[in-house]
Amino acid sequence: MSSLISTLTVNMSQQQLALFKETYARDRRSVTVALILAIIPITGGLGIQRFYLGQTGPGIAHLLLWLLAILPGLLFWIVDIFLMPAATAAANDAVAQRLAVQAKALAP
């Protein structure tokens, strides 16, 4: 478990912790899937990997750059491939924080 998850799950009851782990395993995003989506030209160029991570704004920017200006879209796509591991980790951290709040709202 990451240090963020360890910090978020401190003082959770067994029931809350079980709920957190179950929903986090279901809702977290895979770095492998994000990278595959980013590397495939059709999906990566259109920004599908950003939509997969729940990042609608960058996904729309990706799509518009690709459709309106091919060269900047191509550059953005290549850079985005290298940003996928960090973007996926950030998306998973956001999921963990949301789920921790929900789990802690349950009665112990």
DSSP the chain: --HHHHHHTTT--HHHHHHHHHHHHHHPPPHHHHHHHHHSHHHHHHTHHHHHTT-HHHHHHHHHHHHH-HHHHHHHHHHHHHHHHHHHHHHHHHHHHHHHHHHHHS--
Question: 24 is written with which tokens?
Answer: 């986090």
Predicted local confidence at residue 85, as pLDDT = 95
Residue 104: exposure state from Cβ atoms within 10 A (0-12, 13-18, ≥19): middle
Q: How does pLDDT run across 75-99, given as a tens digit for each residue? A: 888 999 999 999 999 999 999 999 9
Collect all residues with Cβ–Cβ distance below 8 Å to 82 and sequence separation of at least 6. none
Q: Please give the model's pTM, rounded to 2 decimal places.
A: 0.85
Predicted local confidence at residue 95, as pLDDT = 95
Question: 77 is written with which tokens?
Answer: 């796509």
Q: How does pLDDT run across 34-71, given as a tens digit for each residue? A: 999 999 988 998 899 999 999 999 999 988 888 888 88
